[in-house]
């Protein structure tokens, strides 16, 4: 029996995908957001273009994956929840999370991170990450200390802004969140180390260009040495848990810590948008911890910070329609398409944090703000705790939104949001 090939995108489909999916994703900065481009994308709601196009292609070609050929590259676009599940579940079996494109981007600042590793080395680094992050437990052993740090930083933020009658803006918010990240990851000694954040962000800006920008090895070395200094001191925060974690000569703790700092940077976006959602839905404003964690997950469902999850096939893989693709095919899970599929999800364009508490979203593998399967985010509970604690401290102030798009139940929520524009008083 000859193997079936997946449906193939026509030239017109390929051009449309380039213009409506690839260009807006690339322009906004997949690794470090570009403020102006995010503003433009939100004004035009480019994620809505992408979702509509992918639904049209599903109508035209069926629910099996769609093969897009660009020059010598083969890219498989997932269109059904079943295939999304397979790609995530079979990671490390017949697909790798260390895809060529991901290595090209993240390799600028964290070669050696678990997400870019394969085989036994990956297992070694995953074990280390799970141990430091207390995964899959929902409450990290240092939660009481993190709680004190977050509440102290929230109080300073309030006294600097709304407490003085000034507005809470994105710039103030992210400055505070980044201090919290340095304290949670590396301990209090790192709280003022803005140079560290600047070095990392410089390399993340390079990563936005994948291989089009040369690697700056000297800057990366500088960054790694700085991080290693904190880890060697066992200074506090997650760094203090490193000494107890299982490791070998191949673990490279500084590359893993590098990833924690980078990954944490999605959190202020999701948290600030969650603040906007709660301000726009006063009837849903509750401050218990599990509910606020669900609100942050819901913010990530509505506006995923990981715009696409990438895999490469490492074995010949068969999909839901019986088609197969060869080794080395890039596989794309485009987050907004699955998270906002209104043909499947009655709550697609509404703020409905309850879906993360009653099992509806948790059991649906196509909803994957923290990915799923063997590469699922082991830092999710730490980040959800951090964001929920900060939200509860800010909500106690009775904030209301005074700038930016209102995220209310009066109309379907936009599929692209500009977090920079929100302001609260
Ligand atoms: C809102 C914040 C975050 C989001 C949305 C997020 C999302 C994700 C996603 C989607 C992946 C999987 C990527 C893939 O499958 O290719 C991932 C992996 C990972 N995340 Fe997070 N993450 C966040 C914060 C964090 C934090 C704070 C940490 C650590 C402190 C962390 C640690 C990791 C690690 C170590 C991996 C790699 C897992 C592996 O390859 O096995 N993440 N994250």
pLDDT at 255 over 80: yes
Residue 169 to residue 91: CA distance in whole angstroms: 39
Position 124 in a domain: yes
Q: What pLDDT, on a 0 to 100 scale, did the predictor assign at position 422? A: 97
Q: For ligand 1, what atom is nearest to the CA of residue 126?
A: 41
SS3 140: coil
Classify each residue of 362-379 as buried b or exposed e, where b means 16 or more C-beta atoms within 10 Å of its C-beta.
eebbbbbbbbbbbbebbb
Q: What pLDDT, on a 0 to 100 scale, did the predictor assign at position 86? A: 97
Q: Which helix (H) or strand (E) holds 74?
A: strand 73-77
pLDDT digits over 341-391, tens only?
A: 999 999 999 999 999 999 999 899 999 999 999 999 999 999 999 999 999
Q: What pLDDT, on a 0 to 100 scale, did the predictor assign at position 321? A: 95
- Beta 7-8 vs 66-70: how paired, if at all? parallel
Instruction: List the beta bridge partners of residue 313.
Output: 95
The tokens describing 164, both together, are 């003085």
Position 110 in a domain: yes
Q: For ligand 1, what atom is nearest to the CA of residue 373?
A: 15
From 377, 384, 391, mutation site for ligand 1 pocket: most ligand atoms within 8 A of C-beta: 377
Residue 330 to residue 311: CA distance in whole angstroms: 6
pLDDT at 287 over 90: no
Distances (CA, A) of 303 to 247, 274, 291, 334: 36, 10, 18, 12
Structural domain containing residue 312: 7-424
Position 17 in a domain: yes
The tokens describing 290, both together, are 């599990």
Rg (CA), the chain: 21
Nearest to 387 by CA among 305, 325, 323: 305
Q: Which helix (H) or strand (E) holds 293?
A: helix 289-302
- Beta 66-70 vs 317-318: how paired, if at all? unpaired
Domain count of the fold of the chain: 1
Contact between 357 and 292 under an 8 Å Cβ cutoff? The reply is no
- For 34, residues 6+ apart whose C-beta sits below 8 A from its C-beta are 27, 28, 208
The tokens describing 99, both together, are 């895809």
The tokens describing 95, both together, are 């697909």
SS3 369: coil
pLDDT digits over 18-67, tens only?
A: 999 999 999 999 999 999 999 999 999 999 999 999 999 999 999 999 99
Position 1 in a domain: no
Q: Which residue, judged by its Cα, is nearest atom 8 of ligand 1? A: 370
Position 155 in a domain: yes
Residue 302 to residue 273: CA distance in whole angstroms: 10
Residue 234 to residue 406: CA distance in whole angstroms: 44
Residue 66 to residue 128: CA distance in whole angstroms: 37
Percentage of the chain with pLDDT > 90? 94
Contact between 316 and 380 under an 8 Å Cβ cutoff? The reply is no
Tokens 């404003």 identify what position?
Answer: 285
Residue 35 to residue 28: CA distance in whole angstroms: 8
Q: Which residue, judged by its Cα, is nearest atom 27 of ligand 1? A: 264
Contact between 259 and 242 under an 8 Å Cβ cutoff? The reply is no
Q: Which helix (H) or strand (E) holds 66?
A: strand 66-70
Q: Which residue, judged by its Cα, is nearest atom 9 of ligand 1? A: 370
Q: Terminus-to-terminus CA distance in the chain, angstroms?
A: 66
Residue 210 to residue 103: CA distance in whole angstroms: 8
pLDDT digits over 119-178, tens only?
A: 999 999 999 999 999 999 999 999 999 999 999 999 999 999 988 889 999 999 999 999
Q: What is the DSSP letter of 280?
A: H
pLDDT digits over 65-116, tens only?
A: 999 998 889 999 999 999 999 999 999 999 999 999 999 999 999 999 999 9
Residue 2: pLDDT band (50, 70, 90) is: low
**What angle is formed at CA 91 by the lines to CA 352 and CA 371, rounded to 5 degrees?**
20
Nearest to 51 by CA among 19, 25, 20, 91: 20
Position 384 in a domain: yes
Ligand 1 mean position, distance from CA 330 (Å): 20
The tokens describing 225, both together, are 């040495």
From 146, 379, 382, mutation site for ligand 1 pocket: most ligand atoms within 8 A of C-beta: 379
pLDDT at 234 over 90: no
Q: What pLDDT, on a 0 to 100 scale, did the predictor assign at position 232? A: 87
Average pLDDT in the chain: 96
Position 350 in a domain: yes
Tell me the CATH number at 362.
1.10.630.10
pLDDT at 397 over 60: yes
The tokens describing 400, both together, are 């209301």
Q: What pLDDT, on a 0 to 100 scale, did the predictor assign at position 155? A: 96
SS3 199: helix
The tokens describing 354, both together, are 């309850």
Q: What is the DSSP letter of 374?
A: G
Residue 119 to residue 98: CA distance in whole angstroms: 10
Position 113 in a domain: yes
Residue 259: pLDDT band (50, 70, 90) is: very high
pLDDT digits over 203-219, tens only?
A: 999 999 999 999 999 99
Residue 128 to residue 379: CA distance in whole angstroms: 12
Pocket of ligand 1 (CB under 6 A): 97, 114-115, 126, 129, 133, 259-260, 263-264, 266-267, 270, 300, 305-306, 309, 369-371, 375, 377-379, 382-383
Q: What pLDDT, on a 0 to 100 scale, did the predictor assign at position 235? A: 80
Q: What pLDDT, on a 0 to 100 scale, did the predictor assign at position 108? A: 97
């Amino acid at each position: 029996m000859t193997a079936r090939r997946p449906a193939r995108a026509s030239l017109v489909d390929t051009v449309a995908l380039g213009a409506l999916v690839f260009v807006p994703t690339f322009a906004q900065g997949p690794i470090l957001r570009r403020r102006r481009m995010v503003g433009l994308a939100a004004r035009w709601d480019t994620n809505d273009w992408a979702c509509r196009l992918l639904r049209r292609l599903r109508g035209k070609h069926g629910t099996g994956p769609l093969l897009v050929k660009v020059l010598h590259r083969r890219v498989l676009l997932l269109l059904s929840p079943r295939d999304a599940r397979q790609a995530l579940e079979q990671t490390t079996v017949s697909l790798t999370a260390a895809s060529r494109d991901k290595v090209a981007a993240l390799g600028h600042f964290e070669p050696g991170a678990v997400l870019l590793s394969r085989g036994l080395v990956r297992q070694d680094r995953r074990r280390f990450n799970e141990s430091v992050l207390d995964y899959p437990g929902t409450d990290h052993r240092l939660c009481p200390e993190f709680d004190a740090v977050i509440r102290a930083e929230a109080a300073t933020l309030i006294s600097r802004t709304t407490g003085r009658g000034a507005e809470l803006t994105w710039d103030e918010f992210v400055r505070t969140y980044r201090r919290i990240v340095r304290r949670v990851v590396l301990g209090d000694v790192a709280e003022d180390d803005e140079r560290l954040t600047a070095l990392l962000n410089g390399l993340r800006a390079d990563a936005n260009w994948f291989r089009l920008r040369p690697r700056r090895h000297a800057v990366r070395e500088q960054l790694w040495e700085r991080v290693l200094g904190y880890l060697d001191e066992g200074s506090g925060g997650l760094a203090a848990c490193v000494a107890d974690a299982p490791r070998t000569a191949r673990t490279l703790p500084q590359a893993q810590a590098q990833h924690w700092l980078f990954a944490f940077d999605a959190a202020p976006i999701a948290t600030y948008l969650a603040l906007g959602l709660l301000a726009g839905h006063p009837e849903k404003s509750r401050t218990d911890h599990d509910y606020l964690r669900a609100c942050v997950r819901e913010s990530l469902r509505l506006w995923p910070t990981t715009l696409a999850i990438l895999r490469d096939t490492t074995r010949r893989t068969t999909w839901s329609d019986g088609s197969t693709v060869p080794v080395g095919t890039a596989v794309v899970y485009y987050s907004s398409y699955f998270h906002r599929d209104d043909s499947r999800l009655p709550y697609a364009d509404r703020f409905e944090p309850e879906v993360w508490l009653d099992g509806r979203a948790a059991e649906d593998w196509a909803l994957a703000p923290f990915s799923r399967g063997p590469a699922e985010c082991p830092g999710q509970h730490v980040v959800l705790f951090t964001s929920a604690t900060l939200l509860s401290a800010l909500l106690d102030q009775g904030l209301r939104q005074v700038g930016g798009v209102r995220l209310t139940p009066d109309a379907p929520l936009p599929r692209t949001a500009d977090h920079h524009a929100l302001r609260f008083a």
